[in-house]
Amino acid sequence: MNAIEFLISTLFTLYLMVVLLRLWLQLAQADFYNPFSQFVVKVTHPVVGPLRRIIPSFGRLDTATLVFAIIIAVLNVWVLALLRGYAGIDPVNLFISSLFYLFSESVQLIIYVLVIRAILSWVSQGNNPLEYLFQQLTEPLVAPLRRIIPPIGGLDLSPMVLIIILIFVMKLIGLG
């Protein structure tokens, strides 16, 4: 991968993760007034705001944000294909590749948030707004595992087990 491809891929991926984080914040009904939540909303609102006027939400699912995430994924796959010399890319393959990319980045985002939450739990004193927000996001995912694998000696292994499961699923479907 040359430098231009790396830069374009990194920029698309970072922005896609912010958009996915907005979608996740809304699904988890996380604290909207958290400074990090405000950052995510402000960065994505210029596009998601107008899209919301056109595309209605379904329950807690903000379809406008989901559509925007899919558009970013399609653009990323298409631009990288063009840079690699694939001029005549099939629209169906483009869309399917974009959905796999979107799924892969969603799983990566969950893993990153779990790792950051674990690190923050070791170093913070419990009054970090980012730690509280990440707890709101990840608790619905790790709580079922915590019922199966209780903390051992004060050490909660459920985030690590979830990360292993996510990586296994990624490798199982050929994305890892």
Looking at residue 121, its pLDDT comes to 81
The rounded mean pLDDT for the chain is: 91
Average pLDDT over residues 101-117: 95
Looking at residue 170, its pLDDT comes to 93
Total domains in the chain come to 1
Looking at residue 89, its pLDDT comes to 80
106 or 121: which carries more pLDDT confidence?
Answer: 106
d(CA 16, CA 154): 35
Looking at residue 139, its pLDDT comes to 94
Helix (H, G, I), strand (E, B) or coil at 150: coil
Expressed as residue numbers, the domain containing 42 is 3-172
Put simply, whether the predicted model's pTM sits higher than 0.75 gets the answer: yes
Average pLDDT over residues 80-102: 89
The amino acid sitting at 41 is: V
Average pLDDT over residues 93-102: 94
Model pLDDT for residues 115-165, shown as the tens digit of each residue: 998 888 888 777 788 889 999 999 999 999 999 988 888 788 899 999 999
Model pLDDT for residues 41-89, shown as the tens digit of each residue: 999 999 999 999 999 988 888 999 999 999 999 999 999 999 888 877 8
Q: Name the token pair of 148.
A: 């199966």
**Cβ 74 vs Cβ 94: under 8 Å:** yes
Looking at residue 1, its pLDDT comes to 62
d(CA 137, CA 73): 23
Average pLDDT over residues 26-52: 93
| Residue 165 to residues 21, 104, 122, 135, Cα–Cα distance (Å) | 20, 14, 23, 19
